[in-house]
Amino acid sequence: MIRINLLPFRAARKKENIRRQVSVFLLTFLFITVALFYYNSSLSGQIETLNTIKENKKKEIKKYNKVNNEIKEIKKKLNLMNKKIDIVKKIGENRKEPVILLDTMTKMIIPKRMWLTKFSAIEDTVTINGIALDNKTVADFMTRLQTSKLFTSVNLKNLKQHEIKEKNLIFKSFDITLIKTSSEKEEIKKTKPGKVAVKKKK
């Protein structure tokens, strides 16, 4: 009977299998390493790109913040300038208002029968002091003030009779307080000296 020794063949086959497994493992490890390297490089590239975009955005934000600060400064200067302009306008109106208001009062007096001796205007209150020949003249003057629509109320605070015996003259002194309407200033702005509309009693 012939006997064949298979041990060397089996050992060689086993070595071949081991070699093949090692090769597969090495190739797999190499593939995974290459893949991880490529993926890492790709992520590094993306991170670098994002960092570049981030830096650019920071620069833009810094630039826009500077522009916004300049705009804010310009707005502050404009607001300050507008306030100064408003103050100048108000001063001009306040200087103009008493003159026109006095002219208005002058146009409302009864000619040759009454005269104004004192006139003052504090905010919405106007005080008039004057003299008249009789009560009717004072009443007519108050009626003109009421119909002018420049005042919400016309109040006679004081009415006294005076006599100058040497000249045989009797006259009335009066104090009238007026409250300006909310639209009085606008009316006065539109009113020019000498253009006061007064309704005369028939």
Domains in the chain with CATH codes: 98-190 (3.30.1360.100)
Digit-coded pLDDT (tens) for 53-100 = 988 888 888 888 888 888 999 999 899 889 888 888 776 666 666 777
Strand extents, DSSP E, the chain? 114-122, 125-132, 151-164, 169-180
Q: Can you give the pLDDT at residue 160?
A: 92
Q: Can you give the pLDDT at residue 183?
A: 57
Q: Can you give the pLDDT at residue 176?
A: 93
Q: Can you give the pLDDT at residue 87?
A: 82
Question: For residue 182, which amino acid is it?
Answer: S
Q: Can you give the pLDDT at residue 159?
A: 92
Q: Which residues of the chain have pLDDT under 70?
A: 1-11, 91-97, 182-202
Q: Can you give the pLDDT at residue 201?
A: 42
SS3 content of the chain, % helix, strand, coil (to 5): 60, 20, 15
Angle between helix 7-108 and 135-147 (nearest 10): 150
Residue with tokens 């408003």: 86
The answer to whether the pTM exceeds 0.85 is no
For 83-94, b where at least 16 C-beta lie within 10 A, e where not — what string? eeeeeeeeeeee
